[in-house]
Amino acid sequence: MNIAIVGGGIVGLALGYKLSRVKGNKVHIYEKEKDVGYHQSGRNSGVLHCGLSYKPGSLKAKLAVSGIKQMVKYCNYYKINHDVCGKVVIANNENEAKLLENTAHRGNLNGLKGLKYLSKRELKDREPFVSSYKTLLVPEEGIVDYKGVMMSMKENIINSGGKVFLDTKIEKVEENKNLIFINNNLSISYNIIIYTTGLQSDINYKKFTKKKLNAKIVPFRGEYYTLEEHAKNLVNHLVYPVGNPKFPFLGVHFTRMINGDREVGPNAVLAFKREGYKNTDISIIEMFDYLTYPGFLKFIGKNFLFSLNEFSTSLLKSSFLKKTQKLIPDISSSDIKSGPAGVRAQGIDYRGNLMMDFEIKTVKNQIHVINAPSPAATSALSIADYIIENYIS
Ligand SMILES: Cc1cc2nc3c(=O)[nH]c(=O)nc-3n(C[C@H](O)[C@H](O)[C@H](O)COP(=O)(O)OP(=O)(O)OC[C@H]3O[C@@H](n4cnc5c(N)ncnc54)[C@H](O)[C@@H]3O)c2cc1C
């Protein structure tokens, strides 16, 4: 079978890796940037999520639980840096403690192992600077070098006879013939075309299937601060607040990155451009597109204070710091410096709801991954299995 995958993020690469190992398959990946993993997959928190807070029975929950196991196995096999170091989730008052208990209940329903509440002493031994009313230990969570994972997948695809075309934006497809136009002189026909195009997924779906979509990708930037060298000892592993189950964003948290850096973030700020990594990156056309989308206006109507609050953490370091101090009260402005940013491709449906689960659509021989938010990096190998089993086999 000849298969094209448009989008060289971790989801496209995981699909390419799995499909290129099947005898008789010829896999071509097309990526518009100079290398793979340039957008979400290369700009995330580097966390292996084990499925704690996702709705039991959802695709996200199932594919995170199986995905982390596959990802750890992949990293062990190909010797990619990772560490299943566990995380603590913190509740700071009685109300948050109730949310934490609900979260732990979800984790148990999702089949997680070893969840337990830590005593003050146990928390102090693990994370001496963290303040908490109630603490949940999630031992299966970890950290990983996702760029290393993607480079390895790319290499494996090429070694199995596949091709990865970089700097190649797919702009034209003849949908009835499954013909991809690389440029004016070259076109290739495929049995199946899979689109894993993250921040561009809705645009590509509409463009290449000529169908309507009752959803839109809205970009939510996640900004990080990095802990200064002298402050690195403030955090040892992963420290999360208890999340608000209404949102797919996990709240500003502390992460030990696999290279030893410590990051804090990300917030969730409405971006002015899909691939806009700074506040000054603005596209009037893209903003007009979501500002005139009824689903977005309904979302803002329902979540105005949340959006404003997140925006303030982007404009004011003091506002960001306040969130971090809920977890580590002793942290001060001189302990953190501006760090990297990523932009989440977050689907919003027509009714103004954030699309919480992964979503895949097929039209003829096209498969479109429409919504693949966190933990799609962790789950990439299981998302690939799911697509192969349900839409290709
Ligand atoms: C700030 C942040 C933190 C996160 N933290 C985590 C985490 O810790 N753990 C976790 O599991 N997940 C995390 N996530 C989520 C995770 O990174 C994403 O869910 C995942 O990377 C999605 O992968 P993807 O391949 O679908 O998309 P992307 O990585 O965005 O890849 C899509 C690719 O398609 C390409 N493309 C688009 N259009 C075209 C075209 N026409 N032709 C050719 N190429 C095209 C783009 O250039 C891009 O490279 C985080 C995300 C963000 C933004």
Domains and CATH numbers, the chain: 1-82+143-214+356-393 (3.50.50.60)
Which amino acid residue places its CA nearest to atom 13 of ligand 1?
A: 374
Angle 345-346-347 from CA coordinates, rounded to 5°: 120
Confidence grade of residue 247 (pLDDT, cut at 50, 70, 90): confident
pLDDT higher than threshold 80 for residue 183: no
Reported as a single tens digit per residue, the pLDDT across 116-163 is 999 999 999 999 999 999 999 999 999 999 999 999 999 999 999 999
Distance (angstroms) between ligand 1 centre and the Cα of 118 equals: 34
Distance (angstroms) between ligand 1 centre and the Cα of 359 equals: 14
Which amino acid residue places its CA nearest to atom 38 of ligand 1?
A: 197
User: What pLDDT sits at residue 176?
Assistant: 81
174-186 mean pLDDT: 82
Which amino acid residue places its CA nearest to atom 50 of ligand 1?
A: 44
Of 40, 49, 286, 381, the residue with max ligand 1 atoms within 8 A of its CB, to mutate for a pocket test, comes to 40
User: What pLDDT sits at residue 25?
Assistant: 97
Question: How far apart (Å, rounded) are the C-alpha atoms in residues 99 and 246?
Answer: 11
Of 10, 44, 72, the residue with max ligand 1 atoms within 8 A of its CB, to mutate for a pocket test, comes to 44
Of 39, 208, 217, the residue with max ligand 1 atoms within 8 A of its CB, to mutate for a pocket test, comes to 39
What CA–CA distances, in Å, run from 106 to 127, 242, 288, 380? 24, 13, 38, 22
pLDDT higher than threshold 80 for residue 184: no
Distance (angstroms) between ligand 1 centre and the Cα of 352 equals: 22
Reported as a single tens digit per residue, the pLDDT across 343-390 is 999 999 999 999 999 999 999 999 999 999 999 999 999 999 999 999
Which amino acid residue places its CA nearest to atom 25 of ligand 1?
A: 9
Distance (angstroms) between ligand 1 centre and the Cα of 198 equals: 5
Question: How far apart (Å, rounded) are the C-alpha atoms in residues 7 and 170?
Answer: 9
Confidence grade of residue 186 (pLDDT, cut at 50, 70, 90): confident
Question: How far apart (Å, rounded) are the C-alpha atoms in residues 231 and 330?
Answer: 10
State the burial class of residue 329 (Cβ atoms within 10 Å of its Cβ: 0-12, 13-18, 19+): exposed
pLDDT higher than threshold 80 for residue 278: yes
* Host H or E run for residue 59: helix 59-78
pLDDT higher than threshold 90 for residue 250: no
The alpha carbons of the chain give a radius of gyration, in whole angstroms, of 21
Reported as a single tens digit per residue, the pLDDT across 14-44 is 999 999 999 999 999 999 999 999 999 999 9
- Residue 313, number of CB atoms within 10 A of its CB: 22
Of 6, 29, 35, 41, the residue with max ligand 1 atoms within 8 A of its CB, to mutate for a pocket test, comes to 41
Question: How far apart (Å, rounded) are the C-alpha atoms in residues 192 and 208?
Answer: 13
Q: Check: pTM over 0.95? Answer yes or no.
A: yes
- Tokens in use for 32? 């518009």
Of 47, 197, 250, 267, the residue with max ligand 1 atoms within 8 A of its CB, to mutate for a pocket test, comes to 197
310-319 mean pLDDT: 94
Nearest-atom number in ligand 1 for the CA of 30 is 43
pLDDT higher than threshold 80 for residue 393: no
Which amino acid residue places its CA nearest to atom 2 of ligand 1?
A: 44
User: What pLDDT sits at residue 178?
Assistant: 80
pLDDT higher than threshold 80 for residue 191: yes
Q: Using an 8 Å Cβ cutoff, are 142 and 47 in contact?
A: yes
Distance (angstroms) between ligand 1 centre and the Cα of 10 equals: 7
Phi then psi for residue 163, to 5 deg, are: -130, 145
* Host H or E run for residue 360: strand 359-363
Distance (angstroms) between ligand 1 centre and the Cα of 307 equals: 22
82-96 mean pLDDT: 97
Distance (angstroms) between ligand 1 centre and the Cα of 149 equals: 13
Query: Following CA atoms 161, 376, 44, 196 in sequence, which dihedral angle do they give, to the nearest 10 degrees?
Result: 50
- Tokens in use for 352? 């103004």
Instruction: Please list every protein residue whose CB sits less than 6 Å from any atom of ligand 1.
Output: 6-12, 30-33, 38-41, 43-47, 49, 169-170, 196-200, 204, 222, 266, 342-344, 369, 372-378
Asked if the peptide bond before residue 375 counts as cis, ω within 30 degrees of 0, the response is: yes
Distance (angstroms) between ligand 1 centre and the Cα of 12 equals: 9
CA 384 from chain center: how many Å? 15
Q: Can you spell out the DSSP letters for 308-335?
A: HHHHHHHH-HHHHHHHHHTT-TT--GGG
Distance (angstroms) between ligand 1 centre and the Cα of 38 equals: 8
Distance (angstroms) between ligand 1 centre and the Cα of 112 equals: 26
Question: How far apart (Å, rounded) are the C-alpha atoms in residues 196 and 224?
Answer: 25
Distance (angstroms) between ligand 1 centre and the Cα of 283 equals: 20
Nearest-atom number in ligand 1 for the CA of 341 is 1
